[in-house]
Amino acid sequence: MKGLHILAEFHDCRCAPSLLRETSALERVAVAACRDAGLTVVAQIFHGFGTPERPAGATGAVVLAESHLAVHTWPELAAVTADLYVCNFSRDNRSAAESAFLHLQNAFRPGRTERQEVLRGGLEPPLPGPANLG
Amino acid sequence: MKGLHILAEFHDCRCAPSLLRETSALERVAVAACRDAGLTVVAQIFHGFGTPERPAGATGAVVLAESHLAVHTWPELAAVTADLYVCNFSRDNRSAAESAFLHLQNAFRPGRTERQEVLRGGLEPPLPGPANLG
């Protein structure tokens, strides 16, 4: 349960506007950020707002063996909120979290980033089980 | 984008053990917590670890028009981590977030709860769009 939760707001994003509007583009970036960082994607779900003619942002979550990444876009503000929680259960996943965060930042190209970190879980975990890498 | 992110660890959960092991049970509670609080569920995804004979916890996310709820169970620790992010874009969703949090707490019946809150987003939002309730 012990882990790191990174919460970020990306403002003034200079990426292609389609990345903030198109659900499939957002999903590709979010999944790639996790996979390229060595995190284990077990499921994902994304949803687009608005209509095909007038897309109004997208939102979604990538469920990880190590916990999750959630992203929400605000195309009208050129902004994105993202939060990534990685548990350090069977191994220390902090460097993977940093790598995934950097991937997102490089994709959205924010002019300004707000970032907060929360250390979660007060119990030392026991030895890891076989299935959950978190 | 401005909003409240509640992050919690529920320890020593006294709920039925099946709620921590069975993906469908966890999903029902998570979705009900959001719906009963008046939040708008747009999608959800849950994943179970282990095998049907030896379930090893479950994890998932409920994607909301107002942002998301993510939950992860640790049956071997009788513990759950949950985080709920609600944006206050077109309305103040803080009381709905508190209501959903209370629903989760009542369902998992933790002996001890760790809770942290993060206020997110430094920009005052513009007037709301029609589709995104966050």
Amino acid found at A100: A
Assigned CATH topology for domain B3-120: S-adenosylmethionine decarboxylase (3.60.90)
B18 catalytically annotated: no
> Quick one: chain A helix, strand, coil %, rounded to 5?
30, 40, 30
Ramachandran assignment for A39, one of left (phi > 0), alpha (psi -120 to 50 degrees), beta (any other): beta
Q: 């095998």: which residue's tokens?
A: B51
A63·B47 Cβ contact <8 A: yes
Q: Write the DSSP assignment of B29-69 as a string of letters.
A: HHHHHHHHTT--EEEEEEEEEE-SSSEEEEEEEEEETTEEE
Q: How close A99 gets to chain B, by Cα (Å)?
A: 21
State the complex-level ipTM.
0.86
* A45 φ/ψ angles, rounded to the nearest 5 degrees: -150, 135
Q: What is the pLDDT along chain A (134 residues), one digit of tens a residue?
A: 788 999 999 999 999 999 999 999 999 999 999 999 999 999 999 999 998 888 889 999 999 999 999 999 999 999 999 999 998 766 788 899 999 999 999 999 999 999 999 988 864 444 344 444 54
Query: Touching check for A39 and chain B: CB below 8 Å?
Result: no
Q: Is B32 within 8 Å of B25 (Cβ atoms)?
A: no
* Collapsed DSSP state (helix, strand, coil) of residue A2: coil
Biggest CA–CA distance in chain B, Å, is 52
- Which entry of B15, B67, B68, B103 is annotated as an active-site residue? B67
Query: Touching check for B47 and chain A: CB below 8 Å?
Result: yes
